[in-house]
Amino acid sequence: NREAIVRAHDSYSRDPRFSFILLPENVGKRKAQVAAIGQSSGDLVLNVDSDSTIAFDVVSKLASKMRNPEVGAAMGQLTASNRGDTWLTKLIDMEYWLACNEERAAQARFGAVMCCCGPCAMYRRSALVSLLDQYETQLFRGKPSDFGEDRHLTILMLKAGFRTEYVPDAIVATVVPDRLKPYLCQQLRWARSTFRDTFLALPLLPGLNRFLTLDVVGQNVGPLLLALSVVTGLAHFIMTATVPWWTILMIVSMTMIRCSVVALRSRQLRFLGFVLHTPINL
């Protein structure tokens, strides 16, 4: 979308601190990243999605984490820049908080964040260069992959022996879907990436902490068990004409417990409203 970058290009193209690369056509995120990294020279590379805005101190905070030569990548905390637009954007903002401050924060305790998210992730250039061929040429069902770039690159970093970290006070605001259909399409694409790249990560697990094995199994088996319980409940209703109260109560109870714990831990009552995310998740 060249029209969208004309103003930025005109403002900064004459500034010697900036270098713009205009590719002849839209070739996808991976090839754009490869083109930029190939022309870079710094020790650290920061990836920021076009719909994201970083706080003034994000670069310094991520760079500070990268002082450890064992760290290959680090990500910041995501928030929804349009959180106040709709009920859905409010839920997604809470979802991002949970993904960052529960999942990523827990994984970071063991130096193995399993997905450094695209809105803002910093990489060690020397590590990136050695992985670009594998990253750019990934195939899915015999065709070049056009989704799951962030998770795949993170897994490659871990396979190369680098740590991946999470920096909670490096705040990044990103635009999230405000309508259900595009949100579900996004979630489906991310779910495909999670299931696909889990197989790539399996050889890593014996060398990582047992918690990470439990976490990977939970991320992949949990949704399948949830789907199975829903299908079983529907089958019960169709065959017996009775409501499967046990299944409903179990899902409601687990949702209430989780939301209550998060509200208590974060000291934010808004997370009690995250129960509304359950039917969307189902």
Q: What is the DSSP-derived secondary structure letter of residue 102?
A: I
How many angstroms separate the CA atoms of 278 and 282, rounded?
A: 6
Q: Is the pLDDT of residue 2 over 80?
A: no
Question: Lowest-confidence range among 87-101, 169-183, 204-218?
Answer: 204-218
| pTM summary value | 0.91
How many angstroms separate the CA atoms of 231 and 238, rounded?
A: 11
How many angstroms separate the CA atoms of 87 and 97, rounded?
A: 16
Share of the chain above pLDDT 90, in %: 68
Q: Is the pLDDT of residue 143 over 90?
A: no
Strand order in the sheet with 71-80: 44-47, 121-124, 71-80, 163-174, 52-54
Q: Is the pLDDT of residue 24 over 90?
A: no
Please report the sign of the dihedral spanned by the C-alpha atoms of residue 191, residue 170, residue 93, residue 264: positive
Q: Is the pLDDT of residue 72 over 90?
A: yes
How many angstroms separate the CA atoms of 65 and 48, rounded?
A: 17
End-to-end CA distance of the chain: 35
**Vertex 28: Cα angle to 43 and 44 (nearest 5):** 10
Q: Is the pLDDT of residue 259 over 90?
A: yes
